[in-house]
Chain A
Amino acid sequence: MVMEDKGVTGSILIVEDSATTRALLRAVIEEMGDFTTTEAASGFEALKLLPTQEFNLIVTDINMPDINGLELISFVKNNPRYSHIPLIIVSTERSEEDRKRGIALGAMAYITKPFRAQELQEVVKKALHHEGL
């Protein structure tokens, strides 16, 4: 794959309450290259996982049962320990307003569910390069 030539690697946190979407995100991301993915089924789980390791990227849903993705983005961006981690929103197409808010809070990009594998891979690639700069 083209991706491997560029040597994209990293540790990625996937925050998504739907197990199916989580598995899909993981598969698509792992296809890109040498990635460690960690899955969080809720915002709370993400909050607990954040201090446990160095993440290079967070991919998050917006509508989740405990805290929403916007609150997670705000937490990450306002905490000096995590504020450098780029975030990608993966949400349904109808929450356009929420996506805008997420970007305003500091998310790098958003992807609309349902997404195409290639689309997600492009965004992930960009986000990681951005981080590397």
Chain B
Amino acid sequence: MKASKKEFIAEAEDLLFECQQCVLEIQDTYLTAVSPDTINALFRSMHTLKGLSGLFGNQGITDISHALESLLDDIRLGKVPVTEDAVDFLFKSSDTLSSAINGLKEDAPVDLSAHIEEIKNFRASMQAGEKGLDIQGLIDDSILRVLSEYEEHRLKANIKTRNGIYLFNAIFDLSTFDTSLEELTKKIKEEGELISTLPTSTGVPDGSIGFNLMFASSQNAEAFKQHFSGNLEVLVPAKHTDQQIAPKQDHTVRSATTTVRVDIDKLDRILNTIGELTLAKDAVKRIGAEIEESHPHSPLIRDIHKISVSFERRLSELQDEVLAIRMVPIGQIFSRLAQVIRRYSRETGKEIDLTLYGEDTEVDKSIAEEIIDPLMHLVRNSIDHGIESAEERLGKGKREQGAIVLKAAQKGNHVVIEVIDDGRGIDIAIVRKKAIEKGLIDPDAKTEDREVLDLVFAPGFSTKDVVSELSGRGVGMDVVKEKLSMLGGFTEIRTRKNEGTTITLTLPITLAIINALLVRAGKHRFAIPLSAISEIIVIELKDIQTIEWKNVYYLRGEMLPIIDVGKIFLLETDKNDQTFAVIVGFGRRKLGIVVDEIIAQHEIVIKSLGNYLKGLSGFAGAAEIGRHEVILVLDVESIIEQSLTRQEGASYV
């Protein structure tokens, strides 16, 4: 009995997963064209789930999947349109189903009656338009009675669009009627839609067969009488001429296309153009400044200033709009992760209680796509290495079920995503041992725990000698780190033995145009992304102390690692006693970057350094800052990384 329940749940979860995939697919395509196959597949999965739960004798799930099956049948038949509401409703319903299945698993049945009622109501409300149409009086009952439900739906739809409904009676020789009828129906289909083909023997001589063909068309009866010789009856006259139909159709087309789907590449191109325009805007501004210098009283100055201000404002509006278009709620990613978690949970036999927070948090579509794999990896790691087996958990006095929390929140220009588990945590002693073995840390140095912990992100580092099937061979935390760094983000890890691990991913909300701080070190200028900067301080060089080969500065009582851009890139810098330190990073991962001068804030579009310079670390890319000057953009994350793990001055290039 227990085994059959387990099997039922496993199979139900598979079906649910298929349903969710279909709903995702529908969500992705409903604005353009949902494939009927997808809707059919969803319908079939629901149908199977209903049959399965019926077999298992679970009334609640049978009823709810039955109600959903009916709704999907309506969608399939075109009776219920695939609107945003419908897609949302399908999502909600699959969640309900999922909680029902989970409830069954925990022997805590969920009361579904309210949901079933809701599905029925939703279905009724979506069909309302058609139900209101009474065709009883319009068309003879003998015809209506033989229509299948689908045909009736087509009939009503045609009457609603004010098409004429016609009945044509034709008599053919019984032996050849199929070919003759085919010719006739072909003609009808050219002018309209064939709704019903009713064979009849009433008033038909022996050896012959009659057909009552009901069809709909926007043409009026006169147009048909020319085409068909025979008995044409007008059941419902067409309610418009061709001229009248035009604005009506125009209206419906407009309302159907208030939303469009756009290829992300197109938006990228728009952003690129905006980037180029930003450069042009800066050029105008600069020309204004030059004119002001050479001809301080020129009347042109005011005009140029006005134009460049307006240019700047509109450009930033345009940029904001385009960036807003690219935003997607992180819930889309979470729901995909949720499916993965359910699957892995089943594969490993570890029960996982998943909680999601901040699904509405928005992030750029391209970042959303890039972040899925790292998140997937972290989640797998949690289930695989973090969460203990049920026995082990019970032994530790923990709840039998492992908990995973996915949390998203916006913090300024960043989105912070946390993957939290309540597993065994990372054993720092083992990491330390391993790191010493690999020569990543000096066994004699007093490396702090958090520095040791950061090493789990180092390439090829794994504390597990046996690579688990789940996490996959060769994909480690270093890949997660690399991806985040590529996106201009940060990773942070916190862990407590036997309490769990929290991995925090901090990502910029958008990738496109960024604000940067231009700084100078010696003769060279660099850009530092503003989003990475927490503050800028003036420091006396003598206050920089050297502790264990590392330069540090005490900022408000806290030790801040310091690096000198001039030194790491081997540049000749100014020899001042006092200088600036740009503080980058967040939380515990902070770093002061010493520069000679703070120049200005500037909008930049980061361009890749290309294949030749791909191996260069320390730079995120290059940017053009007007007058065809190209400067390098510092990769703050990799600099923090290197400064925390290696001695200053180590090979950067």
A-to-B contact residues, CB < 8 Å: 43-44, 47-48, 51, 62-63, 66-68, 70-75, 78-79, 81, 94-95, 97-98, 101, 104-105
Determine whether the beta carbon of A79 is less than 8 Å from that of B148: no
* Least CB distance, B518 to chain A, in whole angstroms: 67
Q: Provide 29 A-B residue pairs closer than 8 Å at the C-beta atoms, listed in order of the A residue.
A: A44-B177, A44-B178, A47-B199, A48-B175, A48-B178, A62-B148, A66-B197, A68-B148, A68-B151, A70-B145, A70-B148, A71-B196, A71-B197, A71-B198, A71-B199, A73-B146, A75-B198, A75-B199, A75-B200, A78-B202, A79-B201, A81-B201, A94-B70, A95-B148, A101-B145, A101-B146, A101-B147, A104-B145, A105-B145
Interface residues of B in 106-158 (CB under 8 A from A): 145-151
* B198 contacts across to A, CB distance below 8 A: 67, 71, 74-75
- Cα A47 to Cα B200 in complex, Å, equals 10
Complex contact B148–A74 (CB within 8 A): no
B318 smallest CB distance to A (angstroms): 50
Going nearest first, the 4 A-B pairs with the smallest beta carbon separation are A79-B201, A75-B199, A74-B146, A97-B149
19 further interface pairs, Cβ-Cβ under 8 Å (given A51-B174, A78-B201): A47-B209, A48-B175, A66-B197, A68-B148, A68-B151, A70-B145, A70-B146, A71-B198, A71-B199, A74-B145, A75-B198, A79-B201, A79-B202, A81-B201, A94-B69, A97-B149, A101-B145, A101-B148, A101-B149
Q: Which of chain B's residues has its CB closest to A73's CB? A: B146
Flag whether B424 is at the interface (Cβ < 8 A).
no
- For the complex, give the distance between the alpha carbons of A95 and B76 in Å: 13
Q: How far is the CA of A80 from the CA of B502 in the complex (A)?
A: 80
The docked-state distance in angstroms from the alpha carbon of A101 to that of B141 is 12
Q: Nearest chain-A residue to B201 (Cβ)? A: A79
Residues of A within 8 A of B492 (CB): none
Least CB separation from B211: chain A residue: A67
Does B197 lie within 8 Å of A78, measured CB to CB?
no
Answer yes or no: B73 CB below 8 A from chain A CBs.
yes
- The residues of B that contact A44 with a CB separation of less than 8 Å are 177-178, 181
The reply to whether B148 and A72 contact each other, CB–CB distance below 8 Å, is no
**B:517-551 near A, CB below 8 Å:** none
- How many whole Å from A85's CB to the nearest CB in chain B? 13
Interface positions, chain B 162-176, Cβ under 8 Å from A, are: 174-175
- The answer to whether residues A105 and B148 also contact, given A51-B174, A67-B197, A94-B69 and a CB cut-off of 8 A, is no
* Residue of B197, B201, B209 most packed against chain A (CB within 10 A): B201
| A47–B73 CA distance with the chains assembled, in angstroms | 30
Our pick among A63, A66, A75 for the contact of B201 (Cβ within 8 Å) is A75
Give the residues in chain B near A78, CB-CB below 8 Å: 200-202
Instruction: Tell me, yes or no, whether B380 is within 8 Å of chain A by CB.
Output: no
B149 touches A67 (CB 8 A): no
> Which A-chain residue is minimally distant from B210 (CB atoms)?
A75
Let me know if B148 and A98 touch, CB within 8 A.
Answer: yes
Cβ-defined contact, A47 with B177, below 8 A: yes
Mask of B198-214 contacts with A, CB within 8 angstroms, 1/0: 11111000000100000
Contacts of A70 in B (CB 8 A): 145-148
Q: Quick check: is B432 within 8 A (CB to CB) of the other chain?
A: no
Please report the C-alpha to C-alpha distance between residue A79 and residue B198 in the assembled complex, in whole angstroms: 13
B178 CB to closest chain A CB (Å) equals 5
Complex contact B146–A105 (CB within 8 A)? yes
Q: Which residues of B contact A75 (CB under 8 A)?
A: 198-201
Question: Complex Cα distance A53/B199, Å?
Answer: 19
Partner of B174, one of A48, A62, A79, A94: A48
Q: How far is the CA of A74 from the CA of B197 in the complex (A)?
A: 11
Contact of B590 with A by CB under 8 A: no
Report B4-26 residues with CB < 8 Å from chain A CB.
Answer: none
Residues of chain B within 8 A (CB-CB) of A79 are 201-202
CB distance from A47 to the nearest CB of B (A): 6
CB-defined contacts of A47 to chain B, threshold 8 Å? 174, 177, 199, 209
Interface status of B281 (Cβ within 8 A of chain A): no
In chain B, what residue has the closest Cβ to A64? B148
Q: Is B47 an interface residue (CB 8 A)?
A: yes
In the complex, which residue of chain A has the Cβ closest to the Cβ of B151? Answer: A68
Instruction: Please name all residues of chain A whose beta carbon is closer than 8 Å to the beta carbon of B150 when the two chains form the complex.
Output: 63
Q: Which of B48-91 touch A at CB < 8 Å?
A: 69-70, 73
Instruction: List, in ascending order, chain A residues with CB within 8 A of B145's CB.
Output: 70, 74, 101, 104-105
Query: Which residues from A are CB-within-8-Å of B73?
Result: 94
State how many angstroms separate the Cβ of A83 from the closest Cβ of chain B: 10
Contacts of B178 in A (CB 8 A): 44, 48, 66
A71 contacts across to B, CB distance below 8 A:
146, 196-199
B148 A67 Cβ-Cβ under 8 A: no
A residues in contact with B196, CB < 8 Å: 71
CA of A100 to CA of B177 in the docked complex: distance in angstroms? 29
Nearest neighbor of A100 in chain B, beta-carbon distance: B149
> In the assembly, what is the distance between CA of A105 and CA of B202, in Å?
16
**What residues of B have a CB within 8 angstroms of the CB of A72 in the complex?**
199
A101 CA / B148 CA spacing, docked (Å): 8
Which residues does chain A contribute within 8 Å of B69, judged by CB atoms? 94
Q: Distance (Å) between the CB of B150 and the closest chain A CB?
A: 8
B175: which A residues are within 8 A, CB to CB? Answer: 48
Residues of A within 8 A of B70 (CB): 94
In the bound complex, residues from chain B placing their C-beta under 8 Å from that of A74 are 145-146, 198
Q: How many angstroms from the CA of A51 to the CA of B181 in the assembled complex?
A: 19
Point out the residues of chain B lying under 8 angstroms from A98, CB to CB: 148-149
In the complex, what distance in Å separates the CA atom of A70 from the CA atom of B198? 9
Contact A67 B47 (CB under 8 A): no
With the chains together, A104 CA to B145 CA distance in Å? 8
Residues from chain A with a CB closer than 8 A to the CB of B174 are: 47-48, 51
A81 CA to B209 CA, complexed, in Å: 13
Bound-state CA distance A15–B593 (Å) is 83
B201 & A94 in contact (Cβ 8 Å cutoff): no
**A105 CB contacts on chain B under 8 angstroms:** 145-146
- Distance of A71 Cα from B196 Cα, bound (Å): 8
Within the complex, the shortest CB–CB distance from B198 to chain A, in Å, comes to 5
Complex CA distance for A94 and B67, rounded to whole angstroms: 11
Q: Which residue of B lies closest to A95 (CB)?
A: B149
Contacts of A73 in B (CB 8 A): 146
Q: Note all chain A residues with C-beta closer than 8 A to B177.
A: 44, 47-48
Tell whether, in the assembled complex, residue A67 and residue B201 are in contact, meaning their CB atoms are under 8 Å apart. Answer: no
A4 to B175, CA, bound (A): 37
Closest beta carbon of chain B to A9's beta carbon, Å: 28
Contact between chains at A67 and B147 (CB < 8 Å): no
Question: Shortest CB–CB separation between residue B171 and chain A, in angstroms?
Answer: 13
- Distance A97 CA – B77 CA, assembled complex (angstroms): 13
Cα distance, A70 to B175, chains bound together (Å): 22
Chain B, Cβ-Cβ closest to A63: B148
Identify the closest chain A residue to B197 (Cβ): A67
CA distance A19 to B177 in the complex (A): 23
**Distance in angstroms between the alpha carbons of A49 and B146 in the assembled complex:** 21
Shortest A8–chain B CB gap in Å is 29
Of all chain B residues, the one with the shortest Cβ separation from A48 is B174
How many whole Å from B3's CB to the nearest CB in chain A?
25
Q: A44-B178, A70-B147 in contact; A94/B47 too (CB < 8 A)? A: yes
